Amino acid sequence: MSYPASTSLATTAPLSLPWSAAPAAPADSAGFDSEMIQVARLLWPGPQSIEPVAGGLFNRVLKVSSPAGTHYLKRFTEVALSGDFPPLPTRAAQRCVVACSWHDLASRACVMQATRQATRQTTRPATAQPLNVPALVAIQSEYDIVAMDAAAGAPLHERLKSEPGDKAADAAALELPLRSIARWLGRLHALPLQPRNPLLAASRPFKAFKIELQYIRLLDELPSPLHRAARAFIDDYLTLEAEPVHGDLNSRNLLVDADHRVSVIDFEQGHFGEGSYDLAYLLSEYAIRALNHDRDPLPIVARAWDHYGSARLPADPLAWQRRLHLHLAFQCLYRLVGPTRAVWTGHLDEPAGRRVREWSLGMLERLL
Ligand SMILES: Nc1ncnc2c1ncn2[C@@H]1O[C@H](COP(=O)(O)OP(=O)(O)OP(=O)(O)O)[C@@H](O)[C@H]1O
Ligand SMILES: [Mg+2]
């Protein structure tokens, strides 16, 4: 089936492709995939310049520049293309459906955030820029390909890895984005996502896969008296399915422009869980930055929680914050020892790495 993205998001006419379903074409050595190129030709006018984007683990991404502007095509693949990852538990088609559903949900949360701010601006000046989600232009589901607008800006990752500047510059570069992301998350996690049962079925196996990698495999890093309580915390997370979460809210999936406006991308790890998981995901990078520079991470965690709570106050804020800190401790440790550690903590020296480990283990010791 070929169809345009939902009418609220679509910016082009319905996509109609002239071929029938077939196995995914392999990419050539330069990363070009002939079916993706055909989709690009159908969607946008020529002349086109097409560039593969490096680094996708479970997908291929192409950047397409044409007289219609810059767009991205993403194709989900059946197996990880690189890295030490075990086989994926969901088909490319399932991840494509998840990506589109969560992408749409994320856009709705942006609209709500923007509407709320526009109302408030009549009484006081804006305090945080609303988030942006690039429009989904088309979905080609036989080939598990989605097309979207380009988001402006550079990855937040670059700001998080930079050396600290003066206080005001850091506040603008790092805290303004955090503030708008936390408020947007508060809205996202409170939205209903339908059809729930098919989306649960499409996303649950990947959630379990990810939690195995990010949490269960870390148990060996913890002192054995903590294992039982840690396992109980993890099992709780696997059964919690109330809230739709982004699932991969790292700083490479957040692009920030010169006005500190943030765009979010990369939705295929969306799942039903609890909101504190997402906030901890991003905060783990802020905490690692603080620890790298020998600062206490807790003040920025507290500020992020305040922003989140200003958009959506959880029913039991104390229990929510306890779980936020537990997720945070696991996720900091994961970034220190997991298979992608070079990306997240490869720039830390040995004493900074030790601080991350000790801080995380100390948190687990206190809260489990
Ligand atoms: N809509 C977009 N606007 C701007 N840049 C984009 C867009 N989509 C993808 N990119 C660029 O392509 C890169 C890879 O895309 P994406 O994050 O969706 O794929 P990924 O394979 O999941 O990547 P990773 O595993 O690194 O998270 C992004 O980090 C970003 O630089
Ligand atoms: Mg990504």
pLDDT tens digit sequence for 318-335: 999 999 999 999 999 999
357's tokens = 């480990």
**Ligand 1 cavity residues, CB under 6 Å:** 53, 55-57, 59, 61, 72, 74, 134, 148, 150-151, 252-253, 255, 265-266
In tens, the pLDDT along 38-91 reads 999 999 999 999 999 987 778 999 999 999 999 999 999 887 766 666 778 999
Question: What gap in Å lies between CA 340 and CA 344, rounded to an integer?
Answer: 7
In tens, the pLDDT along 274-317 reads 999 999 999 999 999 999 999 999 999 999 999 999 999 999 99
Choose among 254, 279, 276, 250: nearest CA to 265.
254
Ligand in closest contact with the CA of 268: 1
Closest ligand 1 atom to the C-alpha of 150?
Answer: 3
Task: Pick the range with the lowest mean pLDDT from 9-13, 59-63, 207-211, 258-262.
Answer: 9-13
Nearest protein Cα to ligand 1, atom 23: 56
Q: Judge residue 28's burial from the number of C-beta atoms within 10 Å of its C-beta, 0-12 exposed, 13-18 middle, 19 or more buried.
A: exposed
Choose among 232, 310, 230, 319: nearest CA to 274.
319
Question: What gap in Å lies between CA 15 and CA 140, rounded to an integer?
Answer: 8
Write down the mean pLDDT value for the chain. Answer: 90
Q: Judge residue 113's burial from the number of C-beta atoms within 10 Å of its C-beta, 0-12 exposed, 13-18 middle, 19 or more buried.
A: buried
Ligand in closest contact with the CA of 81: 1
Q: What are phi and psi of 162, to 5 degrees?
A: -75, 160
Alpha-helical segments (H) within the chain: 34-43, 92-121, 156-161, 167-170, 176-190, 196-214, 227-239, 275-292, 298-311, 317-337, 341-345, 350-367
Secondary structure class of 149 (helix, strand, coil): strand
Q: Is the separation of the CB atoms in 282 and 324 below 8 Å?
A: no
How far does Cα 338 stand from its chain's mean position? 17
| Candidate from 74, 79, 269 with most ligand 1 atoms within 8 A of CB, to mutate | 74
Question: What gap in Å lies between CA 1 and CA 12, rounded to an integer?
Answer: 17
All domains of the chain, ordered by start, with CATH?
A: 2-367 (3.90.1200.10)
